[in-house]
Chain A
Amino acid sequence: MKRSIKKTLLTPLNLMVIPGMLYLLINNYIPMAGVLIAFKRINYSKGIFLSDWIGLENFKYLFSTRDAFIITRNTLLYNMVFILMSTILGLMVGIFLSEIISRTGKKIYQTLILLPQLFSTIIIAYIVVGFLSNESGFINKTLLGPDNAINFYSAPVYWPFILTIVYLWKGLGYNSIIYFSAVVSVDRNLYEAATVDGVGRFKQIFYVTIPSIKPTIITLFLISVGRIFYSDFGLFYQIPMNSGVLYNVTNTIDTYVYRSLLQLNNIAMASAASAYQALVGFIIIITVNEIIRKLDRDNAMF
């Protein structure tokens, strides 16, 4: 018995896992020791291990502010909308892509929708400025004219929409490609059988495609739900150009922490914030997985 385990461990395929495991170990597991920084008052002359323990003192600033509600609400609501929209739209686009017959057409569409993903957020921020700025923006100068001009960067009402549109425009391509690759791996025989049974194109999507790729959808969904307490810093900081007037709708946990600690440079307080995010993300992912397991045992991740 023992020998067979040894054998399976040393097969070439298993050996190929080693670099990936090492990467995870170095980048994801070792830094976990840093979590103890969150409970200390860092003193450089004593070093990290010898600095004084101060309990939960570093976590206080996250909760003692009136902004605690706003940043939690913004982070959660935006992420819920993002997860929902990008799952539905990504799935839609992925299926559409798989229905395109022309090979060149497929390549062109794939490239076009993937392109924004490759742009740096800073560049996207300036593309948005090109549309929204007061002095030279396309919307204010060309569409609305000087009499109806809107000062977008001091009008919070528009930003939930602007941020959602920008997020989807940037991220949709990536999601849809993953769904697309799941869709093309569905057994073609199923479709043929469905066609023989007289099932239309549209119904095939609901009765063949979606059930077949359900595990992919659930895995992607779980991964994004686990990060529901993290926000895309670039999106919420750069796209609104850090305009203070908009904070009520653009401030999330990450931007709040950044702005709080800009002056203090307290690495302990920063670690406290990320420990808190990781803990909540962990709880959420376990809960959601539990719910999925209750509903449909086979599709739960663990």
Chain B
Amino acid sequence: MSTQKRFNTLKWAVVFTVLFTVVTVNAFSGGQGESSKAQDKNNSVREITVASIADPAVGLPEVEAAINKITVPRINTRVKFLPIESGAYSQQISLMMASGEKIDLVRGTSFGTVSFSVMHAQHQLMDITDLLPKYAPDLIRTVTEIIPDFLEGTRVNGRIHSVSGFFNKVNSDYFLGRADILDKHNIDIYGVKGLDDVGNILGVLKRNEPNQVPIVTYQRDASALILEGGSFYDDFSNPVHFDTLGDSANRLAVVFLSNPENVVNLYKTDNYRKMLERVHDWYKKGYVYKDALINTEIQEILVRNNIGITWTASSEIGVEVAKEERTGYKIRAVKAAPGMITTTTMTRIFWGVPVHSKEPEAALKFLNLMYTDPDINNLLAWGIEGRDYEVKSDGTVGFPAGITSSNAPYHSMDFRWGNQFITKVWTGNPPDLREQARKENQNASSSPLLGFSFDTAPIQNEIAMLSNIISQYRPGLESGTIDPAQGLPAFIKALDGGGAEKVIAEIQKQLNAWKSTKK
């Protein structure tokens, strides 16, 4: 009887194992059989799926239909859009990539698992160096007309795997504040020459506006003075620029433009120490939001809710109008440091074809249209004319009567899609905004390191450790909460213990190799 029982158990175990293996193998290798079917309909209309960050909109089907009315006759392709909310985007896309779901064109962003360096390190994107000139020649012509180095920003080891989104690439650093409060105390923000002046303004606000915080910060940057843009601007007329080499999150290894040969540890520089001392001084004087360490709201929200008066931000031109829309108050802004075109700004938004896509040709043809056709761009950004937007007398577009951003069937943003420069200007902005932006981009200086982004593969363990150390020490220091006299040496010691020097040396090695291929 006991052998009988054991045999039965064994039988079940075998059945389960077989079942288990079959199911898993199927789950992991899904969709192998579909390729042959695709061959049959060589001449029929191609179908591609485009994944992008967008809020779900009830009016999407009509927009999609209108776009297909253009794409089917012109490039024989039907486009299906897959909008994913920004909060879930990173996770959704990496899951879809891992399981090989149908996506033919994917938008990458600057953060998390869909960032440029991650997608490249894991070979998620197809090499389109040779396909691009063949299927998207107009795209190349359009982008290089405004920024000659455009394609260099996303070229790694000579190969192109993605194309940067075509929108205003110049993000300058600004110091901003609420116009009504500044006027009340006769503060001329346009006369600010540097951070010493900013300190004086904060002092006046602290004395006269006891119920509001003079300057607010955001936990993710947790810093009042140093921004993604990459510059220290103690003196607004003479900012010190550095290039974060595509890693704006950790920004450990940077290259100062005054010394473009050497990779240095940003946290060990004098500029950084001085910046920390200044914010800590501000914190002690009560200028800085005391809950900065735990605040998860962006500055605009704090200003909108009467918590803060001033803040700093990295933004494109038209900053006063844009921020007024977001805060509900009239805003004045003074430029602290002009923006520069770097790998970081070029990889903030990019489009690529996933390696498992079966329609790279159709995807690139559509990308070509998205960068060159105004109708497609207006549809994607603002929806259907008459329903979602109407053209105003000055040539800008806005909501028709009775429609707002909360009840519009479809309303997106102009920088989220192909070509911002040929998309109509949203109302409230100067009608010649695109002209201004075009000029700003044409005149902007590019970093000499544009196009260099490092390969994290040899230093993964170090980056894992350093990410923890940086998120442990940096917010406390950069929000001014922690005294840099003790905090900074402890931070630097922890970084060295976590392998910062090895990372710097590795990136220096990669940079030298990259430079030698450029010459």
Name A residues whose Cβ lies closer than 8 Å to a Cβ of B: 1-2, 5, 25, 29-30, 33, 42-49, 60-61, 64-67, 129, 133-135, 151, 153-154, 241-245, 247, 251, 256, 259-267, 269
Contact = CB atoms under 8 A, between A and B. Distances in A.
B236 interface: no
Nearest to B21: A33
B385 to A, nearest CB: 40
B28 A47 contact: yes
B309 to A, nearest CB: 14
Contact of A154 (B23, B27, B113, B482): B482
A151 B98 CA distance: 43
Given A134-B290, A154-B293, A264 B468 contact: no
B467 A134 contact: no
Contact of B472 (A134, A241, A244): A244
B293 A265 contact: no
28 contacts: A5-B8, A29-B20, A30-B23, A43-B123, A44-B122, A44-B124, A44-B356, A46-B123, A48-B28, A48-B98, A66-B494, A67-B465, A67-B468, A129-B294, A241-B293, A241-B294, A242-B219, A242-B471, A244-B471, A244-B474, A245-B482, A247-B468, A261-B464, A261-B467, A263-B118, A263-B467, A265-B118, A267-B94
A259 B471 contact: yes
B230 interface: no
Interface size class of B (residues with CB under 8 A): 35 or more
Contacts of A2: 4
B428 to A, nearest CB: 32
Interface stretch (B139-147, B167-175, B455-463): B455-463
B464 A269 contact: yes
B112 A265 contact: yes
B84 interface: no
B17 to A, nearest CB: 10
B461 A43 contact: no
Most buried by B among A43, A48, A262, A269: A262
Contacts of B249: 262-263
Interface in B1-36: 1, 4-5, 8, 16, 19-20, 23-24, 27-29
Contact of B294 (A1, A44, A64, A243): A243
Interface in B227-245: none
Contacts of B250: 263
Contacts of B307: 135
B289 interface: yes
B129 interface: no
B133 interface: no
Contacts of B118: 263-265
Nearest to B19: A25
Contact of A1 (B4, B29, B355, B461): B4
Q: Is the interface of B mostly helix, strand, loop or mixed?
A: helix
B122 A42 contact: yes
A269 B281 CA distance: 41
Nearest to A261: B464
Nearest to A262: B467
A245 B293 contact: yes
B98 A135 contact: no
Nearest to A33: B24
A244 B475 contact: yes
B214 interface: no
B481 A44 contact: no
B475 A243 contact: yes
B352 to A, nearest CB: 12
Contacts of B356: 44
Nearest to B5: A5
Nearest to B222: A244
Interface in B452-492: 456, 460-461, 463-465, 467-468, 471-476, 481-482
B497 interface: yes
Given A61-B461, A264-B456, A259 B476 contact: no
Nearest to A267: B98
A269 B476 CA distance: 28
Most buried by A among B29, B293, B307: B293
A43 B122 contact: yes
A262 B91 CA distance: 11
B73 to A, nearest CB: 34
Nearest to A49: B28
Most buried by B among A66, A242, A245, A265: A265
B296 interface: yes
B498 interface: yes
A260 B124 CA distance: 21
Interface string B231-270: 0000000000000000101100000000000000000000
Interface string B21-63: 0011001110000000000000000000000000000000000
A45 B124 CA distance: 6
Nearest to A44: B124
Contact of A244 (B461, B464, B473): B473
A135 B121 CA distance: 43
B85 to A, nearest CB: 17
A262 B476 CA distance: 19
Contacts of B113: 265
B435 to A, nearest CB: 38
Nearest to A240: B294
B151 interface: no
B26 to A, nearest CB: 10
Nearest to B126: A45
Nearest to A66: B497
Contacts of B290: 134-135, 151
Given A243-B294, A263-B249, A30 B24 contact: yes
A134 B481 CA distance: 12
A260 B28 contact: no
Interface in B89-114: 94, 97-98, 100, 112-113
